Structure 1
Amino acid sequence: MFGSSVLELAIGLTFCYGTVALIVATLQEALAAAFRLRANTLLAGIKSMLNDPRFDALAQMVYAHPLVNPHGNGLPVDERHLAARPSYIEPAQFAIALIDSIQRAPGDFARLGADIDAVSDPQVRRALHALYARAGGDLERFQALVAGWFDNAMERVSGAYKRRQLLISLLLSLLLAIMFNIDSISLFRTLWQQPQLAAHIDAVPGMLDAATLDKLWALPIGWTTFPPVLDSSFALQAAGWLITAATTLFGAPFWFDLLQRAVQLRGTGARPEETPRTLPAAPATVVPAVPLVQVRTSPALPAASET
């Protein structure tokens, strides 16, 4: 009974946390698409990399290049008039676009050093000169060095984007926990006392659909009285909301992997008791009857005659 209660408790909690994390991830993707967060983050990263915050110099020339922005009109006046904003740029294509934006005579690597001198920003000019000197007169090597410079800059941008997304995820999950009263402490207590409430969870959901939400609402979550009373128990309830919000930072794949293992463990059932194995009795060996050997004695010698 103890093992069964613990298993049902684990299944209920992991399903709840995984479903909430899946809802949060879906909302994040919708927000990212609606507000073009990836494209705007990439644009901000290139503006910072090329030191062009007003988008009127080298960053504007790069975004006008068809290798970087093939859906644009090639004439961006400012970032508000960008017809399209890419969400991803291949480093090699960025390098070619940047070199084409700098070069006055395309393909003439000998004059590229003089073209770099015409770059207005001193920091960008210094960085390009350093890469140009390391290229040793090889245009392909110079393009590879520029692509590596772009990769390093985008790694920092990606780190900042992930940290911001984690904060958004935490806020969204906290909002969901408050709206639907997903209190981890109360959920733990209820499932521990009534583990059968998680018996309907028999598989890992493949997607966020109505069936998954129905299984979530079948758990002991939601409001019974609203608004809550601001007393000592409310502090414990708020702590339960924070715990629920923190669990979404692990991501839905983490929780659903645990759920799959727990469901498989429940499906195996209890292990039957092992009985001691005894060796089978050896069959009796039938010894064939051996006929008795009759010992024939020599005939008695005649008694010696008396002389």
Structure 2
Amino acid sequence: MFNSTVLEVAIGLIFCFASVALIASSIYEAVASWLNLRSKTLLCGISELLNAETSQGHELLMSIYNDALAHPAGNGTATTVKNIRNKPAYIPSKNFALALIHALQKTPEQIDKLESAIDLLKDEQLRALLKNLYRKAEGNLHNFQHELATWFDTGMGRVSGAYKKQSQMWCFIIALIVAVGFNIDCVHLFKTLWLHPASIAQLSVSEGNSLLATQAYAQLQTLPVGWNGQFEWSMLLVPSSVVGWLVTASASLFGAPFWFDLLKLLVRLRGTGTKPENEPPQQTTEPKAH
């Protein structure tokens, strides 16, 4: 069984990792929201699916983004990508499939001529793909919509994976900047907590996932981190400090929820967890009078 010193050190380190991860992800999400990175990534993904570099692919892309099913917040009159306002960050696959069918049909009266509309596409790759999907659906419009939705989900899965890798890279960079900027050296933190485990007494670890980035930073200041009021350039050449910063930044890639869940587990193990609710009251038996 862990002794108290090991638990105190583990709790301090894990709270440090969770706080840095929360701060880094909050900064990244704020920047991503400001720059509309999710909507831009979705637009790039759909452009690749439709080969929007060609004139006909660009026309299909504009038709989809002007369709209220795919882009309900748009004005429906965009002619170029720059004219698309309030780009959506997410499009349901069923809505995309219907919007693409509408773009191929041109008019509702051509619903029975969908295959001929596909044959008129000049992009050989896109035409072959849509023809295969239409044949797989056996000419059934509902099945064709399902096949298009599946194709869209597969393509967006790749886009989502690329976006996740990009976000992890930037979160690592932000976490490293935070670690160096505030001298959050997990090696120094480990040594200090091992000698003085009572240093985490002021931590409110019970708040867990409810912490905001600003609250996490305030709690982090109660640990032995920081430059003590003066930045030292010589510390940038100390191997142990560099390793400590890199480990702190790397740990943030696991995400704040992972570390906070682990933190709750250690708090319960230490015996300071919350008591179970609705605990039945203990009954006392009194000796009967004879």
* Number of the residue aligned with 2:255: 251
Show the 5 A alignment for 1:64-103. Answer: 64-103=66-105
* 2:278 equivalent in structure 1: none
In the alignment, the residues of structure 1 paired with residue 240 and residue 213 of structure 2 have an alpha-carbon distance, to the nearest angstrom, of 31
Aligned residues of 2:235 and 2:241 also touching (Cα < 8 A): no
Q: 2: distance between equivalents of 1:96 and 1:115?
A: 15
Q: Bigger shift: 5-14 or 77-86?
A: 77-86
For residues 236-263 of structure 1, give each alpha carbon's deviation from its aligned partner in whole angstroms, at most 9, with x where no partner exists: 2111100000000111111111111111
Tell me if structure 2 keeps the 8 A contact 1:12–1:191.
yes
Query: In the alignment, what sits opposite 1:183?
Result: 185
CA-CA distance at 1:231 after TM superposition: 7.9
TM-score by length of 1: 0.82
Kindly name which structure, 1 or 2, has the bigger radius of gyration based on alpha carbons: 1
Alpha-carbon separation, structure 2, partners of 1:71 and 1:221:
47
- TM-superposition CA deviations, 1:40-94 (whole Å, max 9, x none): 0000000000010377321112111111111111121211111120111111111
Could you tell me which residue of structure 2 aligns to residue 297 of structure 1? none
Partner letter of residue 50 of structure 1?
L
Question: For residues 64 and 209 of structure 1, do their structure 2 counterparts lie closer, same or farther at Cα, with a shift above 3 Å needed?
Answer: closer
In structure 1, the partner of 2:200 is: 198
Offset of residue 109 of structure 1: 3.9
Q: Which residue of 2 aligns with 1:220?
A: 224
What is the identity percentage for the equivalent residue pairs of Structure 1 and Structure 2? 42
Q: Which residue of 2 aligns with 1:121?
A: 123
Native 8 Å contact 1:8 1:196 kept in 2: yes
Distance 2:149 2:266 in 1: 46
Q: Provide the alpha-carbon RMSD of the alignment.
A: 1.9
State the shift of 1:32 in Å: 1.4
Please give the per-residue CA displacement for 1:207-228, whole angstroms capped at 9, x wherever unaligned: 2165543321010000134232
Compared CA separation, residues 262 and 214, structure 1 to 2 (3 A) = same
* C-alpha distance 140-216 of structure 1, shift in aligned 2 (>3 A): same
Gaps spanning 5+ residues in structure 1: where? Answer: 270-307
Once the 2 structures are TM-superposed, how far is the Cα of residue 106 of structure 1 from its aligned partner? Answer: 1.9
Give the secondary structure class of the aligned counterpart of 2:108.
coil
Instruction: Provide the aligned length of Structure 1 versus Structure 2.
Output: 267
Shift of 1:105: 3.8
Q: Which runs of 5+ in 2 are unaligned?
A: 274-290
Question: How far 1:200 moved relative to its partner?
Answer: 2.1
* Secondary structure in structure 2 of the residue aligned to 1:80: helix
| Corresponding residue number in structure 2 for 1:303 | none
Q: Which residue of 1 aligns with 2:10?
A: 10
| 1:126 partner amino acid | A
Q: Which SS does the other structure have where 2:203 is aligned?
A: coil
